[in-house]
Amino acid sequence: MRYSRLFETSPDGILILDAVTGQIVDANPFMTHLLGFSHEQFVGKQLWEVGLLRDADRRHGVLHDVSDLGVIRWEELLVQSNANPTGMDLEVVSSTYREGDRQLIQCRVRDITERKRANLNASLQAAELAVASRHRNEFLAILSHELRNAIAPVANALMVLRLAQEAESIIPNRARTLIERQVGHLSHLVDDLQEISSIGTGRMRLQPGLVDFRLVVERSVEAVMSAHAHRNHQVSVNLPTAPVWLDADAIRLEQVVVNLLSNAANYTQNGGSITVTLRVDGGAELRVADSGIGIAQDMLKSVFDLFTRAESGGNHSRGLGIGLNVVKQIVDMHGGSVVALSAGEGEGSEFIVSLPLALSGA
Protein backbone atom coordinates (compact mmCIF):
# COMPACT_ATOMS: atom_id res chain seq x y z
CA MET A 1 0.00 0.00 0.00
CA ARG A 2 2.84 2.41 0.89
CA TYR A 3 4.57 1.84 -2.44
CA SER A 4 1.28 2.17 -4.26
CA ARG A 5 0.78 5.65 -2.76
CA LEU A 6 4.31 6.64 -3.77
CA PHE A 7 3.59 5.47 -7.31
CA GLU A 8 0.30 7.37 -7.46
CA THR A 9 1.56 10.63 -5.91
CA SER A 10 5.12 10.81 -7.27
CA PRO A 11 6.11 14.29 -8.55
CA ASP A 12 7.91 12.49 -11.42
CA GLY A 13 6.48 10.38 -14.18
CA ILE A 14 6.91 6.63 -13.72
CA LEU A 15 6.60 4.00 -16.45
CA ILE A 16 6.88 0.24 -15.83
CA LEU A 17 8.12 -1.78 -18.82
CA ASP A 18 8.34 -5.48 -19.56
CA ALA A 19 12.11 -6.07 -19.79
CA VAL A 20 11.65 -8.70 -22.51
CA THR A 21 9.18 -7.03 -24.86
CA GLY A 22 9.79 -3.40 -23.90
CA GLN A 23 6.04 -2.82 -23.69
CA ILE A 24 4.62 -0.41 -21.10
CA VAL A 25 2.65 -2.30 -18.46
CA ASP A 26 1.84 0.60 -16.12
CA ALA A 27 2.03 4.40 -15.90
CA ASN A 28 1.41 6.66 -12.92
CA PRO A 29 -1.00 9.64 -12.97
CA PHE A 30 1.82 12.19 -13.30
CA MET A 31 2.97 10.43 -16.48
CA THR A 32 -0.49 10.75 -18.00
CA HIS A 33 -0.45 14.47 -17.16
CA LEU A 34 3.10 14.92 -18.49
CA LEU A 35 2.56 13.45 -21.95
CA GLY A 36 -1.19 13.87 -22.28
CA PHE A 37 -2.03 10.18 -22.77
CA SER A 38 -4.58 8.26 -20.71
CA HIS A 39 -3.47 5.25 -18.69
CA GLU A 40 -5.11 2.95 -21.23
CA GLN A 41 -3.21 4.62 -24.08
CA PHE A 42 0.12 3.93 -22.38
CA VAL A 43 -0.43 0.24 -21.68
CA GLY A 44 1.00 -2.05 -24.38
CA LYS A 45 2.88 0.78 -26.14
CA GLN A 46 6.61 1.00 -26.78
CA LEU A 47 8.60 3.99 -25.52
CA TRP A 48 9.13 5.36 -29.00
CA GLU A 49 5.34 5.26 -29.56
CA VAL A 50 4.75 7.72 -26.71
CA GLY A 51 7.57 10.01 -27.79
CA LEU A 52 10.28 8.98 -25.30
CA LEU A 53 12.69 7.59 -27.90
CA ARG A 54 13.60 9.25 -31.15
CA ASP A 55 13.22 6.08 -33.21
CA ALA A 56 12.19 2.45 -32.91
CA ASP A 57 15.76 1.15 -33.37
CA ARG A 58 16.85 2.83 -30.15
CA ARG A 59 14.49 0.77 -27.96
CA HIS A 60 16.55 -2.41 -28.19
CA GLY A 61 19.70 -0.58 -27.14
CA VAL A 62 17.96 0.94 -24.12
CA LEU A 63 16.59 -2.41 -22.96
CA HIS A 64 19.99 -4.06 -23.28
CA ASP A 65 21.74 -1.18 -21.49
CA VAL A 66 19.33 -1.32 -18.57
CA SER A 67 19.63 -5.10 -18.33
CA ASP A 68 23.44 -5.03 -18.45
CA LEU A 69 24.10 -1.98 -16.25
CA GLY A 70 21.15 -2.19 -13.86
CA VAL A 71 20.63 1.60 -13.81
CA ILE A 72 21.06 3.96 -16.75
CA ARG A 73 20.47 7.69 -17.25
CA TRP A 74 19.28 8.55 -20.71
CA GLU A 75 20.33 11.64 -22.56
CA GLU A 76 18.04 14.62 -22.11
CA LEU A 77 15.10 14.46 -24.50
CA LEU A 78 13.15 17.26 -26.12
CA VAL A 79 9.61 15.89 -26.29
CA GLN A 80 6.44 17.30 -27.81
CA SER A 81 3.14 15.94 -26.64
CA ASN A 82 -0.56 16.68 -26.64
CA ALA A 83 -0.18 18.28 -23.21
CA ASN A 84 2.95 20.24 -24.18
CA PRO A 85 2.80 21.05 -27.90
CA THR A 86 5.70 23.52 -27.64
CA GLY A 87 7.97 20.82 -26.26
CA MET A 88 9.60 20.05 -22.93
CA ASP A 89 12.96 18.75 -21.80
CA LEU A 90 12.90 15.38 -20.01
CA GLU A 91 15.48 13.40 -18.10
CA VAL A 92 14.97 9.65 -17.76
CA VAL A 93 16.53 7.25 -15.24
CA SER A 94 15.84 3.53 -15.74
CA SER A 95 16.49 0.56 -13.46
CA THR A 96 15.47 -3.11 -13.37
CA TYR A 97 13.75 -5.19 -10.69
CA ARG A 98 11.93 -8.49 -10.47
CA GLU A 99 8.30 -9.04 -9.64
CA GLY A 100 7.80 -12.77 -9.20
CA ASP A 101 9.26 -14.45 -12.27
CA ARG A 102 8.93 -11.33 -14.37
CA GLN A 103 11.79 -8.90 -15.11
CA LEU A 104 10.58 -5.29 -15.18
CA ILE A 105 12.13 -1.93 -15.96
CA GLN A 106 11.14 1.20 -14.08
CA CYS A 107 11.60 4.48 -15.96
CA ARG A 108 11.51 7.63 -13.85
CA VAL A 109 10.76 10.58 -16.11
CA ARG A 110 11.49 14.10 -14.82
CA ASP A 111 10.45 17.35 -16.48
CA ILE A 112 13.59 19.53 -16.46
CA THR A 113 12.28 22.27 -18.76
CA GLU A 114 12.39 24.95 -16.07
CA ARG A 115 15.81 23.83 -14.90
CA LYS A 116 17.21 24.06 -18.41
CA ARG A 117 15.55 27.45 -18.87
CA ALA A 118 17.11 28.65 -15.62
CA ASN A 119 20.51 27.34 -16.74
CA LEU A 120 20.08 29.10 -20.07
CA ASN A 121 19.12 32.35 -18.34
CA ALA A 122 22.15 32.02 -16.08
CA SER A 123 24.35 31.50 -19.14
CA LEU A 124 22.84 34.54 -20.85
CA GLN A 125 23.34 36.64 -17.73
CA ALA A 126 26.93 35.48 -17.51
CA ALA A 127 27.44 36.46 -21.14
CA GLU A 128 25.86 39.87 -20.50
CA LEU A 129 28.12 40.38 -17.48
CA ALA A 130 31.11 39.46 -19.61
CA VAL A 131 30.08 42.03 -22.23
CA ALA A 132 29.54 44.64 -19.52
CA SER A 133 32.95 43.85 -18.07
CA ARG A 134 34.52 44.19 -21.51
CA HIS A 135 32.79 47.55 -22.02
CA ARG A 136 34.00 48.71 -18.62
CA ASN A 137 37.56 47.73 -19.46
CA GLU A 138 37.32 49.47 -22.83
CA PHE A 139 35.93 52.54 -21.10
CA LEU A 140 38.80 52.63 -18.60
CA ALA A 141 41.30 52.28 -21.42
CA ILE A 142 39.66 55.15 -23.32
CA LEU A 143 39.46 57.26 -20.17
CA SER A 144 43.14 56.83 -19.36
CA HIS A 145 44.04 57.63 -22.98
CA GLU A 146 41.90 60.77 -23.01
CA LEU A 147 43.20 62.03 -19.68
CA ARG A 148 46.78 61.37 -20.75
CA ASN A 149 46.23 63.27 -24.01
CA ALA A 150 44.77 66.22 -22.10
CA ILE A 151 47.41 66.34 -19.38
CA ALA A 152 50.50 66.03 -21.60
CA PRO A 153 50.03 69.40 -23.39
CA VAL A 154 49.39 71.09 -20.04
CA ALA A 155 52.67 69.76 -18.66
CA ASN A 156 54.53 70.87 -21.78
CA ALA A 157 52.96 74.32 -21.65
CA LEU A 158 53.95 74.75 -18.01
CA MET A 159 57.53 73.87 -18.91
CA VAL A 160 57.47 76.51 -21.65
CA LEU A 161 56.15 79.08 -19.15
CA ARG A 162 58.96 78.31 -16.75
CA LEU A 163 61.59 78.66 -19.47
CA ALA A 164 60.11 81.85 -20.91
CA GLN A 165 58.87 83.60 -17.78
CA GLU A 166 61.50 86.33 -18.15
CA ALA A 167 61.11 86.69 -21.89
CA GLU A 168 59.10 89.46 -23.48
CA SER A 169 57.26 87.43 -26.12
CA ILE A 170 53.88 85.99 -27.03
CA ILE A 171 54.96 82.45 -26.06
CA PRO A 172 53.61 82.67 -22.49
CA ASN A 173 50.22 83.86 -23.76
CA ARG A 174 49.99 80.95 -26.20
CA ALA A 175 50.96 78.52 -23.47
CA ARG A 176 48.32 79.91 -21.14
CA THR A 177 45.69 79.59 -23.90
CA LEU A 178 46.67 75.98 -24.43
CA ILE A 179 46.46 75.31 -20.70
CA GLU A 180 43.01 76.88 -20.48
CA ARG A 181 41.77 74.80 -23.43
CA GLN A 182 43.12 71.52 -22.07
CA VAL A 183 41.90 72.20 -18.55
CA GLY A 184 38.48 72.91 -20.05
CA HIS A 185 38.65 69.55 -21.82
CA LEU A 186 39.55 67.82 -18.56
CA SER A 187 36.64 69.54 -16.83
CA HIS A 188 34.32 68.38 -19.60
CA LEU A 189 35.49 64.77 -19.19
CA VAL A 190 34.93 64.91 -15.45
CA ASP A 191 31.49 66.49 -15.96
CA ASP A 192 30.54 63.68 -18.36
CA LEU A 193 31.64 61.05 -15.85
CA GLN A 194 29.62 62.71 -13.11
CA GLU A 195 26.55 63.00 -15.32
CA ILE A 196 26.56 59.38 -16.42
CA SER A 197 27.03 58.35 -12.80
CA SER A 198 24.08 60.45 -11.63
CA ILE A 199 21.87 59.13 -14.43
CA GLY A 200 22.86 55.52 -13.76
CA THR A 201 22.06 55.81 -10.06
CA GLY A 202 18.84 57.78 -10.60
CA ARG A 203 20.19 60.86 -8.82
CA MET A 204 19.58 63.27 -11.70
CA ARG A 205 16.60 65.51 -10.97
CA LEU A 206 15.18 68.26 -13.15
CA GLN A 207 14.48 71.74 -11.84
CA PRO A 208 12.06 73.01 -14.49
CA GLY A 209 11.11 76.60 -15.08
CA LEU A 210 10.08 78.85 -17.94
CA VAL A 211 13.07 79.05 -20.29
CA ASP A 212 13.65 80.87 -23.58
CA PHE A 213 15.38 78.17 -25.62
CA ARG A 214 16.95 80.82 -27.89
CA LEU A 215 19.06 82.17 -25.02
CA VAL A 216 20.19 78.66 -24.08
CA VAL A 217 21.33 78.04 -27.66
CA GLU A 218 23.10 81.42 -27.87
CA ARG A 219 25.04 80.82 -24.63
CA SER A 220 25.98 77.31 -25.68
CA VAL A 221 27.22 78.35 -29.12
CA GLU A 222 29.35 81.11 -27.61
CA ALA A 223 30.89 78.79 -25.00
CA VAL A 224 31.66 75.86 -27.31
CA MET A 225 32.82 77.80 -30.36
CA SER A 226 35.16 80.02 -28.35
CA ALA A 227 36.72 76.86 -26.87
CA HIS A 228 37.21 75.51 -30.40
CA ALA A 229 38.21 78.81 -32.02
CA HIS A 230 41.58 77.32 -33.05
CA ARG A 231 39.69 74.92 -35.34
CA ASN A 232 38.40 77.81 -37.53
CA HIS A 233 34.97 76.26 -38.05
CA GLN A 234 32.46 78.15 -40.15
CA VAL A 235 29.53 78.46 -37.73
CA SER A 236 26.04 79.50 -38.82
CA VAL A 237 23.31 80.11 -36.23
CA ASN A 238 19.67 80.57 -37.23
CA LEU A 239 17.27 81.54 -34.43
CA PRO A 240 13.63 82.73 -34.42
CA THR A 241 12.97 86.40 -33.72
CA ALA A 242 10.41 85.57 -31.02
CA PRO A 243 11.14 83.73 -27.76
CA VAL A 244 10.82 79.92 -27.75
CA TRP A 245 9.39 79.17 -24.33
CA LEU A 246 9.93 75.76 -22.76
CA ASP A 247 9.02 74.39 -19.36
CA ALA A 248 12.48 72.94 -18.77
CA ASP A 249 15.62 72.81 -16.66
CA ALA A 250 17.84 75.51 -18.21
CA ILE A 251 21.10 73.97 -16.95
CA ARG A 252 20.24 70.52 -18.31
CA LEU A 253 19.11 72.02 -21.64
CA GLU A 254 22.43 73.81 -21.92
CA GLN A 255 24.16 70.47 -21.37
CA VAL A 256 22.21 69.06 -24.30
CA VAL A 257 23.17 71.86 -26.65
CA VAL A 258 26.79 72.02 -25.46
CA ASN A 259 27.22 68.27 -25.91
CA LEU A 260 25.75 68.35 -29.42
CA LEU A 261 27.93 71.32 -30.40
CA SER A 262 31.04 69.76 -28.83
CA ASN A 263 30.30 66.56 -30.72
CA ALA A 264 29.99 68.51 -33.97
CA ALA A 265 33.23 70.42 -33.29
CA ASN A 266 35.17 67.28 -32.36
CA TYR A 267 34.09 65.35 -35.44
CA THR A 268 34.41 68.18 -37.97
CA GLN A 269 37.72 68.90 -39.66
CA ASN A 270 39.44 72.26 -39.23
CA GLY A 271 37.68 74.87 -41.33
CA GLY A 272 34.55 72.73 -41.70
CA SER A 273 31.01 74.02 -41.29
CA ILE A 274 28.59 73.73 -38.37
CA THR A 275 25.00 74.91 -38.66
CA VAL A 276 22.69 75.46 -35.69
CA THR A 277 19.00 75.98 -36.42
CA LEU A 278 16.16 76.50 -33.95
CA ARG A 279 12.58 76.67 -35.15
CA VAL A 280 9.06 76.17 -33.90
CA ASP A 281 6.83 73.65 -35.65
CA GLY A 282 4.28 72.29 -33.19
CA GLY A 283 7.16 72.08 -30.72
CA ALA A 284 10.70 73.37 -30.45
CA GLU A 285 13.08 71.76 -32.93
CA LEU A 286 16.85 72.20 -32.67
CA ARG A 287 19.07 70.99 -35.50
CA VAL A 288 22.85 70.76 -35.21
CA ALA A 289 24.42 69.84 -38.55
CA ASP A 290 28.08 69.55 -39.50
CA SER A 291 30.29 68.70 -42.48
CA GLY A 292 32.38 66.27 -40.45
CA ILE A 293 33.28 62.60 -40.67
CA GLY A 294 29.66 61.43 -40.72
CA ILE A 295 28.18 58.27 -39.23
CA ALA A 296 28.14 54.82 -40.81
CA GLN A 297 24.62 53.53 -41.42
CA ASP A 298 25.07 50.58 -39.06
CA MET A 299 26.05 53.00 -36.27
CA LEU A 300 23.02 55.29 -36.47
CA LYS A 301 20.87 53.12 -34.18
CA SER A 302 23.56 52.78 -31.52
CA VAL A 303 25.07 56.27 -31.61
CA PHE A 304 23.25 57.22 -28.38
CA ASP A 305 24.39 54.08 -26.55
CA LEU A 306 26.83 54.54 -23.70
CA PHE A 307 30.52 54.47 -24.70
CA THR A 308 29.75 54.42 -28.43
CA ARG A 309 32.34 56.44 -30.32
CA ALA A 310 32.87 57.12 -34.00
CA GLU A 311 36.24 56.00 -35.28
CA SER A 312 38.40 57.99 -37.65
CA GLY A 313 41.99 58.62 -38.44
CA GLY A 314 41.99 62.13 -36.95
CA ASN A 315 44.30 63.00 -34.11
CA HIS A 316 42.04 65.26 -32.10
CA SER A 317 40.07 64.00 -29.15
CA ARG A 318 36.90 62.02 -29.78
CA GLY A 319 35.70 61.90 -26.16
CA LEU A 320 34.52 58.98 -24.07
CA GLY A 321 31.30 58.10 -25.89
CA ILE A 322 29.25 59.56 -23.01
CA GLY A 323 28.00 62.92 -24.31
CA LEU A 324 25.31 61.69 -26.71
CA ASN A 325 23.98 59.24 -24.14
CA VAL A 326 23.65 62.13 -21.67
CA VAL A 327 21.85 64.13 -24.38
CA LYS A 328 19.29 61.38 -24.93
CA GLN A 329 18.71 60.85 -21.21
CA ILE A 330 18.07 64.56 -20.58
CA VAL A 331 15.87 64.97 -23.66
CA ASP A 332 13.84 61.90 -22.65
CA MET A 333 13.38 63.34 -19.15
CA HIS A 334 11.92 66.49 -20.75
CA GLY A 335 9.41 64.44 -22.78
CA GLY A 336 11.24 65.06 -26.05
CA SER A 337 13.14 63.02 -28.60
CA VAL A 338 16.49 63.13 -30.37
CA VAL A 339 17.55 61.45 -33.61
CA ALA A 340 20.78 61.23 -35.58
CA LEU A 341 20.94 61.50 -39.37
CA SER A 342 23.84 60.94 -41.75
CA ALA A 343 24.30 59.96 -45.37
CA GLY A 344 27.31 57.89 -44.32
CA GLU A 345 30.98 58.19 -43.55
CA GLY A 346 32.51 61.45 -44.78
CA GLU A 347 29.08 62.96 -45.40
CA GLY A 348 28.61 64.92 -42.19
CA SER A 349 25.85 64.38 -39.64
CA GLU A 350 22.82 66.08 -38.16
CA PHE A 351 21.19 65.75 -34.77
CA ILE A 352 17.58 66.81 -34.29
CA VAL A 353 16.17 67.51 -30.83
CA SER A 354 12.39 67.94 -30.48
CA LEU A 355 10.95 69.33 -27.24
CA PRO A 356 7.39 70.29 -26.22
CA LEU A 357 6.64 74.00 -25.89
CA ALA A 358 5.54 75.47 -22.57
CA LEU A 359 1.76 75.57 -22.19
CA SER A 360 1.93 79.32 -21.61
CA GLY A 361 4.71 81.76 -22.56
CA ALA A 362 6.11 84.58 -20.42
CATH of domain 206-362: 3.30.565.10
Q: Nearest CA to 264 among 341, 336, 330?
A: 341
Q: Nearest CA to 216 among 288, 301, 152, 266?
A: 288
CATH topology of domain 113-204: Helix Hairpins (1.10.287)
- In DSSP terms, which residues pair with 156 in a beta bridge? none
Residue ranges of domains in the chain: 2-111, 113-204, 206-362
Torsion, Cα of 53, 55, 57, 62 (10° steps): -10
Q: Which burial class, exposed, middle or buried, applies to 89 when counting CB atoms under 10 A from its CB (0-12, 13-18, 19+)?
A: middle
pLDDT tens digits for the chain (362 residues)? 556 777 887 878 898 988 888 889 999 998 888 888 888 989 998 877 887 765 555 555 555 566 555 555 555 565 666 656 667 777 788 888 888 888 888 888 888 878 888 888 888 888 888 887 777 667 766 766 677 677 777 777 777 776 765 555 566 666 666 676 667 667 666 666 666 666 655 566 788 999 999 999 999 998 888 878 888 899 999 999 999 999 999 988 998 999 899 889 988 999 999 999 999 988 999 999 999 999 988 888 888 887 666 554 444 445 556 778 889 989 999 999 999 999 988 899 999 999 999 987 65
Q: Nearest CA to 113 among 87, 83, 89?
A: 89
CATH of domain 2-111: 3.30.450.20
